[in-house]
Amino acid sequence: MGKNMRTISIHTDGGARGNPGPAAIGVVIDGTGYGEYIGETTNNVAEYKAVISALKSAAKIAGDGAGKTALEIHIDSQLIARQITGKYKIKQEHLRKLCMEARELIRNFEAVGFVEIPREENAAADALVNETLDSRK
């Protein structure tokens, strides 16, 4: 890691009520968060879409400095973290496409690390998912 590198801390979460069902993502970047309704889908798709949204947002924040920016992505989905990092194989084609999109976005940054955390440590991102879904009633 270069000495002029900036590190952005990110928490992501995705969830669906029903699997599939109404789904949303929650993203917290350096303490600032947002939620977004993503339609009817599964939990795994929502988790991927949260990571992809976070990567796109981080690229906007980093701007021309993305190549000197490291991301630390905290995620409570072991499956998604390990599929993106290549530790797990991806059997479903629709998840493989989302994984490839995430990997393509990761290339914009100096380094991207995934930190697998328990759900309790992802409360802010989880709350954004639930607030987004609750507001659609």
Is the predicted pLDDT of residue 2 greater than 60, yes or no? no
What pLDDT score does 1 carry? 47
Segment 86-134, tens digit of pLDDT: 999 999 999 999 999 999 999 999 999 999 999 999 999 999 999 999 9
Give whole-number Cα distances, 89 to 11, 51, 77, 82, 96, in Å. Answer: 23, 18, 15, 9, 9
CA angle 113/82/101 to nearest 5° reads: 75
What pLDDT score does 63 carry? 94
**How is the chain split into domains, by residue range?**
6-134
CATH class of 6-134: alpha beta
Q: What is the mean pLDDT of residues 47-58?
A: 98
